[in-house]
Chains A and B, each alone.
Chain A
Amino acid sequence: MIKKIQSLFLSFALIITSFIGLGQVATIAVADEFPAKPIEVVTHAGLGGGTDTTARMLLIRTRKNLKNNAYITPKKGDGGNKAMSYVKSKPRDGHTVLAITPTHLFRMARGGAALNIDDFVGVARTTVDPIVIFVNAKSPYKTIEDLIKAGNKKPIKYGGTNVGSVDHISGLIFAREAKTKIAFVPFEGGGAIMTNLVGAQIDAAGLNLDEGKDQLESGELRVLAVMADERLSALPDTPTLKEKGINASFATVRGVVVLKGTPADRIAKLEKGFLKAMAHPVYQNYLTGAGLDASSVAGSAAWDAEIKKIYKEARAALVSLGLAK
């Protein structure tokens, strides 16, 4: 009797084990499905900054579209290089995505970064924010020509974020192309630049429109030119530098990339998931709140070409300025 129970128990146990085995086979089969595990988005900035917030807003709907979880891993350090070396250590299976900005592109262009521009494939662009040249409304500079002329007499005190950033380089390229001089004053962030411009500590600054919008509307600041190929819909009367014959187009762009070698079907799946998430009102409202519009969003092909173009220009600019070899 006892033996019978024992054998019954044993067979029962065997059946259960075989089911577990089957289950394992089943999961392996599912692993071919993508994404098989949560998507990791690597950022280079602290929590609550522009890159972090954009990534979080992007992921809200992406989770639903890709039917899997997604999370953010912040890897701060050396202008995005830390984030890049972290991504480099991960398999090229589409589960790791890097949130890329001009900071990374300029860091690569300076040389000695963990990855090179050719190691990336663009998946989607999330925001585009052109740099706008602001001056204090009480200043004598009414047009961009006034500013250029003044710079020839005495270097323009031009505010921006840290040395080697897109703010810095765009200011230097503007000066070179417009044949004027600037003295670059670095600040800790957009808010500080704007405050110092209103307080007339500096003459001019390259800011994103949103960073100076309130002060523009309240009449404390004035815009002189936009560093973009086309005029902004929000500033229809403000000329672009290009119109003025000054070849300097720079924007704070953000987007997501994966490492080269990631299967094309997975990139396509990610792209679809991201684009659908960004078409949703949740993301669109965020763009509006940040003073941007739907034209911020772009797909893989366009974004991939854009980061390569920005990199090339950044590299040329840094070499010509003697900031990279």
Chain B
Amino acid sequence: MELISKITLILDLTTFLLILGSTIVGVLIGALPGLSSGMAIALLLPFTIYLEPNQAIAAMAALYCGGTFGGSITAILINAPGAPPAAATAFDGFPMAQNGQAGKALGMAAVSSVIGGIISLIVLIIFAPTLAKIAYKFGPPEYFALAIFGLSMLASISSKSPVKNLIGGLIGLFVATIGVHLTTGISRFTFSIDELFEGVSFVPVLIGLFAMSEIFVQASKSELLLERIKFSAIKLPSITEFKNCGKTILRSTGIGTFIGILPAEGGTVSAMIGYNEARRWSKNKDNFGKGEIEGVAAPEAANNSATGGAMIPTLALGIPGSATTAVILGGFQIHGLRAGPYLFEQQPDLLYTIFYGMLLANFIFLIFGLLGAKIFSRISLIPRGFLWPSVFVFCLVGSYGLSQSMVDVYIMLISGVVGFFLRRAGFSPAPIIMGIVLGQLVENSLAQSIIIFDQNLFMFFTRPIAMTFFILTFLSLFYKPIKNLFTERKRI
């Protein structure tokens, strides 16, 4: 078979070492809050001109894979998601670390990431030209329906009170409205602060709500007794635990690959919806948010399968499937290459190099992740007084580094304080994050749909894909009350 024989493309020493290096750099950069794989690739672009085009693109793709995985490490250990796609991983990953199960969370993150990543790559190499066409079927009305479906889980995203979850979600949606409105050009809640015109940047809010508020929580604990060091923290998950998460991982992989293909959305939304669905179908619903291992497997499988998914339209159509793949397309340009339908027919070698490069990257971070889990999990054993002040430095640097703006640092600090008080009042950060992630999508796609539909909202009924999502939304909201209604009637 051609595919298998092409493995020789990455077997020369330079290419292999490049992929190895890029993956490890990707994992480390992904793990650092505020540094993303997209940023790293953009910064490294000028240096790749000295490489062979195939090697350069494979290295970028490997860095992308590593970066998506890397975010989970800091999300689990210090509640500071290294990159937005790992936000959902912190929901259960950090509670697990606090329960002394850091190793299990890290091990599960590595394994589910790799399974998600590899399956999506196989989908990429076999079905890319066909599946890429899905991108064309998704117009604003379909994105609107998808976002509504995602938001339908808002009330139940964490095991805290549904009312509080809804309020949290509304806070998130409100934050997403800040900035210049896409279709009217009117600026809202920007108070003439230049940085706010393009909206509140997500990363500082993320760092603030998770890590910064956690610092306040830790600081408000006053007991002086040191906790007994739990050596079980470095234990990896057992085979049974992996098996129990099998279904969740597969479901999330499907969700992640699909959402990854959609050009407007990538790993962050995939992980959120993957997490939602895991909770919906799980037997341990009530344990979500408190340290449920499925709650780590689901977002990690979803966000890593979104990397393969996002490469589908990028390679097959030349449309970036995510922010990072947009930068990779920039890399194509620098090397005088073109992505698109011709890539598959005329440059199969480049395609196979990317495929094997990403595949290798997945295996590298599996090894790195499993070996590293034993080492990294010891971070959760560092006494609080030493750990959290250093996390504070991370928070500052991470929010500043993104666009070198002090406004982002203030946003992070404000989110930290707000997050702390919300947590004390019994709110979970999960719905707030979800509101911010889906807020812009839901608003922009509705505004675009209205123009496309000539102001006639009934036109939504002419859209089968959109209607499917609306029906799913309806079912997910009203399935229980309807079922209860029928069962009660039977009793009478």
On A, residues with C-beta under 8 Å from B are 46-50, 52-53, 56-57, 59-60, 73-79, 81-82, 85, 157, 162-164, 183-188, 191-192, 194-196, 198-199, 201-202, 213-215, 217-218, 282, 285-286, 288-290
Known: A77-B197, A214-B340. A53 touches B45 (CB 8 A): yes
> Can you list 12 contacts pairing A with B, beta carbon distance less than 8 Å?
A47-B42, A53-B334, A60-B46, A81-B197, A163-B184, A184-B451, A201-B139, A202-B452, A214-B317, A214-B340, A286-B336, A289-B335
Residues of B within 8 A of A199 (CB): 135-139
Residues of B within 8 A of A213 (CB): 338, 340
Closest A residue to B338 by CB, please name it: A214
Q: With A and B bound together, what is the CA distance between A49 and B38 in angstroms?
A: 10
Q: Taking the nearest CB of chain B, how far is it from the CB of A247, in angstroms?
A: 25
B42, B136, B332, B451: the one within 8 Å of A198 (CB): B136
Q: With A and B bound together, what is the CA distance between A202 and B197 in angstroms?
A: 27
Residues of A within 8 A of B269 (CB): none
Residues of B within 8 A of A191 (CB): 263, 319-320, 326
Q: With A and B bound together, what is the CA distance between A47 and B401 in angstroms?
A: 12
Q: Taking the nearest CB of chain A, how far is it from the CB of B234, in angstroms?
A: 36
Q: Taking the nearest CB of chain A, how far is it from the CB of B92, in angstroms?
A: 31
Pairwise interchain contact A163-B263, C-beta atoms closer than 8 A: no
Q: With A and B bound together, what is the CA distance between A59 and B49 in angstroms?
A: 13
Scan B441-474; emit 1 where CB is below 8 A from any A CB, else 0: 0001000100110000000000000000000000
Residues of A within 8 A of B184 (CB): 163
Closest A residue to B447 by CB, please name it: A186
> Residue among B183, B330, B335 with the most chain A CB within 10 A?
B330
Q: Which 9 A-B pairs have the closest CB atoms?
A: A163-B185, A48-B327, A214-B340, A48-B42, A77-B194, A201-B139, A289-B333, A47-B42, A82-B194
- Given contacts A50-B330, A184-B451, could you give 13 more A-B pairs where the C-beta distance is less than 8 Å? A47-B42, A48-B45, A48-B326, A52-B42, A56-B46, A76-B405, A77-B196, A81-B194, A187-B448, A214-B317, A218-B341, A282-B49, A289-B335
Pairwise interchain contact A286-B341, C-beta atoms closer than 8 A: no
Pairwise interchain contact B332-A289, C-beta atoms closer than 8 A: yes
Closest A residue to B186 by CB, please name it: A163
Known: A162-B185, A195-B319. A53 touches B49 (CB 8 A): no
On B, residues with C-beta under 8 Å from A are 38-39, 41-43, 45-46, 49, 135-140, 180, 182-185, 194-198, 263-264, 317-320, 323-324, 326-327, 330, 332-342, 403-405, 444, 448, 451-452
Pairwise interchain contact A192-B263, C-beta atoms closer than 8 A: yes
Closest A residue to B139 by CB, please name it: A201
Pairwise interchain contact B333-A53, C-beta atoms closer than 8 A: yes
Residues of A within 8 A of B451 (CB): 157, 183-185
Closest B residue to A114 by CB, please name it: B194
B43, B138, B197, B264: the one within 8 Å of A188 (CB): B264
Known: A60-B49, A162-B182, A199-B137. A47 touches B39 (CB 8 A): yes
Pairwise interchain contact A195-B336, C-beta atoms closer than 8 A: no
Q: Taking the nearest CB of chain A, how far is it from the CB of B378, in angstroms?
A: 33
Pairwise interchain contact B335-A285, C-beta atoms closer than 8 A: yes
Known: A57-B46, A191-B320. A77 touches B338 (CB 8 A): no
Residues of A within 8 A of B336 (CB): 285-286, 288-289
Closest B residue to A47 by CB, please name it: B42
Q: With A and B bound together, what is the CA distance between A194 and B320 in angstroms?
A: 11
Closest A residue to B140 by CB, please name it: A201
Pairwise interchain contact B404-A57, C-beta atoms closer than 8 A: no
B38, B139, B263: the one within 8 Å of A48 (CB): B38
Residues of B within 8 A of A60 (CB): 46, 49
Pairwise interchain contact A85-B194, C-beta atoms closer than 8 A: yes
B182, B341, B405: the one within 8 Å of A214 (CB): B341
Pairwise interchain contact A57-B139, C-beta atoms closer than 8 A: no
> Residue among B136, B137, B184, B324 with the most chain A CB within 10 A?
B136
Closest B residue to A288 by CB, please name it: B336
Residues of A within 8 A of B136 (CB): 195, 198-199
Pairwise interchain contact A195-B183, C-beta atoms closer than 8 A: no
Q: Taking the nearest CB of chain B, how far is it from the CB of A193, in angstroms?
A: 10
Residues of B within 8 A of A78 (CB): 194, 197-198
Pairwise interchain contact A186-B139, C-beta atoms closer than 8 A: no
Q: With A and B bound together, what is the CA distance between A202 and B139 in angstroms?
A: 9
Closest B residue to A185 by CB, please name it: B451
Pairwise interchain contact A290-B333, C-beta atoms closer than 8 A: yes
Q: Taking the nearest CB of chain B, how far is it from the CB of A109, in angstroms?
A: 14
Q: Taking the nearest CB of chain A, how far is it from the CB of B167, in angstroms?
A: 29
Q: With A and B bound together, what is the CA distance between A85 and B195 in angstroms?
A: 12
